[in-house]
Structure 1
Amino acid sequence: MEINIIPGEKLTIKLWETLTEKGIGSLLRPWQMRREGRAAIDIRCEEIVRLAQAERDAEAITRGEYRLENGSGPKLIPCNEIGTESGTRPASPLASDATLAEIAQQVNVADTIRREVNVAKAILHAEAELESDPQEPPAEKIDDDWLFRWRDNASQVSSEELQSLWGRLLAGELKQPGSFSLRTLEFIRHLSQEDARKIEKIAPFVVNESIIVRLDDDVLTAQEISFSFLLELQEMGILSSVDSIGVQTDYRSASPDKFLKALVSFKKMLLVENDDKDKILSIAVNAVTNVGRQIMQLGKFSANEAYLRSAGAKIKDMGYEVMLADCISVPPNVRYYNGVKL
């Protein structure tokens, strides 16, 4: 009998094997064990509802409305009001040492719940990222130090947008261990939503995952990519050489027969050609740092076509034939289609 494997199922199984082995995602594990034979969307809804309830429970504990007790099993019970018997009041507004210890314990419980909820939500985002990916799981495992650092960092994020980012980070590392450095984890830990928006703004102008082409600054300025904005990205650690003069990249041919070079920006590309195979294409650029390149892998960006057309026109003026085309990555190559000569 032929067994149909759902796209992404192997990667999802690999994800849960990796997390379970290290005791990560404990809030989700009981539901994960009940997944077989149930619709994925039903399970996802149940998980989200339960995580939302866990968040509300943590907030109630923090406000002092409930406390967690462990008798025959952990459960939430309403906190008794102080000084309600016979209309009496506490003798002192200061809590006793025992009360302070209990308050500290309950605050710690609430904080632990919040952290576990944050990790669980990031894991759900990772699972969603993997569930339609047919890639075979790699033989390599995620480094333990990396995984525990990921857990600690993801536990501190309550923003849905940033939880999604941490989820994509875990999914990417699972698919190819070593893709994201500990330095990148540290960078993302300090990433604010404003910083994320700056990266989203510059991403459509990145070519070959490594450069910002500076052939026509008027196009960049029209898109609010000013020199001061580029300097901000340099200070963040995303770009380099912004304040340097005369920085350029020299491209040699990728073909032995003629000059041929692809300048790729997500799903668009410029195909540059010339009959002289020894010709060198020199382009003024700002470089994207290693951290910047890794961060760019996490987003769902698209190229700025007006920017590519302008860059292509400038390259054409240098004596090259230039084609703008759609493309798809088929490692180690890039396939293009719908090409239009500029």
Structure 2
Amino acid sequence: MANEVVPATGSFLDELNLPKIVAGPAGEAISRLIGGAVDIPAAWLAQVAQGIKDKTEAKTVVSKAVADAAASIAWNDPEVIQRAAHSLLAKELRHQTNREAIARKAIEYLADEPTEQTAKPDDDWLNVFERYAEDASSERLQDIWGRIFAGELRRAKTFSLRTLRFVSELDESVVNQFEKWSARVVDFDSIPFPPTQGVEFSELLHLQDCGLVTGVGSTLHKKFDLNKVPEGQRVPLRFGFRHFAVIVLIEPPFEFQIPNLFLTSIGREIYSITRTTTKLETVRAFVEQFPKNHVDQILIADLGNNNQTEICWSKSP
């Protein structure tokens, strides 16, 4: 019966041909996430039964009368016990399946971007992560949790407990909108030249209401003060997109500011796991809006193509 519920296959980690990068602390965390159910299903089912027993014995004095009444009903109706057992087993099996899918995703991301050392998240973080991740049934959310787990295994305390709680409540529309706007994020923390009206403005208001960005509809700016740079010395300012960099050569002394809205702490953490590709036209749109006073030249470097650089704008002779 046990093997019908959870097939007794080989070791989960062995099946994945686990790379060396998840040995040590990361391997311990992954093993904790998936538990021993895949390797020893009979033991897992025994633990489920023990959990039922523990919960029964843990009833308080205040609830004892209710517990006794429920037990009496169950005793007189064996079908109640059977339905409860099936319900509990189905729930635990679903949770186990979700956790293992997330572990597989995390391993894939660790393999895609190998690192020499990994870290083990602290127990409190793992407790919260397990509780939220086991309810992620959709492939989209499992992928997000897998990225978070891989990021935390690379560097502990990358993702806060607040971010875990936020992701547990994510819906598809918020994910889609934030991934769209992540393509326009500069230097990992801000979105320059944000719209002030229209559909896109409404999208940003929604993301602000969700706690991912701040400053929508305000007058927030990034200020650049080059007044202390000697005259005649061109200063390169770099603005980093996900797959491109914009290098602006400025003739000081000069001071200017760019309207921006900013990612919140949760927004920055979520941004680190988004995979939206920044298109060249997005970068060119940034260049078009960039203030050209005192600018000598603007270059675009393709970070995914050996930093190949092109002149996007140049001051007229």
Paired amino acid for 1:264: G
Contact 1:252/1:279, CA 8 A, preserved across alignment: yes
Query: CA distance change for structure 1 residues 129 and 252 in 2, over 3 Å: closer, same or farther?
Result: farther
Q: Distance in 2 between matches of 1:169 and 1:305?
A: 28
Q: Secondary structure at the match of 1:228?
A: helix
1:232 aligns with 2:206: yes
Paired amino acid for 1:283: I
1:143 aligns with 2:117: no
Q: Distance in 1 between matches of 2:112 and 2:81?
A: 48
1:104 aligns with 2:84: yes
Contact 1:27/1:116, CA 8 A, preserved across alignment: no
Deviations 1:50-74 (A, max 9, x none): xxxx9xxxxxxxxxxxxx997xxxx
* Runs (4+) off by over 4 Å: 255-258
Q: Which of 1, 18, 23 pairs up with 1:13? A: 23
1:207 aligns with 2:186: yes
Q: Map 1:113-262; keep pairs closer than 5 Å.
A: 113-138=93-118, 140-214=119-193, 217=195, 226-244=200-218, 246-252=219-225, 258-262=234-238
1:290 aligns with 2:269: no
Q: Kindly, what percent of the aligned residue pairs are identical?
A: 24
Aligned to 1:25: 34
Query: CA distance change for structure 1 residues 252 and 178 in 2, over 3 Å: closer, same or farther?
Result: farther
Q: Distance in 2 between matches of 1:296 and 1:248?
A: 20
Shift of 1:337: 2.7
Shift of 1:148: 1.6
TM-score computed with the length of structure 1 as normaliser = 0.69
Aligned to 1:339: 310
Shift of 1:142: 1.1
Contact 1:250/1:280, CA 8 A, preserved across alignment: yes
Aligned to 1:315: 290
Contact 2:186/2:240, CA 8 A, preserved across alignment: yes
Deviations 1:123-143 (A, max 9, x none): 0000111123231114x4311
Query: CA distance change for structure 1 residues 69 and 263 in 2, over 3 Å: closer, same or farther?
Result: closer
CA RMSD in angstroms comes to 3.0
Q: Distance in 2 between matches of 1:168 and 1:146?
A: 15
Contact 2:179/2:275, CA 8 A, preserved across alignment: no
Q: Secondary structure at the match of 2:153?
A: helix
Structure with the bigger percentage of helix: 2
Aligned to 2:10: none
| Structure 1 residues not aligned, in runs of 5+ | 1-7, 32-53, 55-67, 71-93, 329-334
Shift of 1:311: 2.1
Deviations 1:16-52 (A, max 9, x none): 22233xx320267539xxxxxxxxxxxxxxxxxxxxx
| Structure 2 residues not aligned, in runs of 5+ | 1-17, 47-72
Paired amino acid for 1:228: S
Aligned to 1:34: none
Contact 1:265/1:302, CA 8 A, preserved across alignment: no
Contact 1:252/1:259, CA 8 A, preserved across alignment: no
Q: Greater CA deviation, 154-163 or 313-322? A: 313-322
Contact 2:237/2:250, CA 8 A, preserved across alignment: no
Contact 1:205/1:304, CA 8 A, preserved across alignment: no
Q: Distance in 2 between matches of 1:69 and 1:237?
A: 41
Contact 2:240/2:246, CA 8 A, preserved across alignment: yes
Q: Distance in 2 between matches of 1:69 and 1:187?
A: 32
Q: Distance in 1 between matches of 2:112 and 2:290?
A: 39
Query: CA distance change for structure 1 residues 266 and 116 in 2, over 3 Å: closer, same or farther?
Result: same
Shift of 1:251: 3.0
Q: Secondary structure at the match of 2:121?
A: coil
Shift of 1:195: 1.5
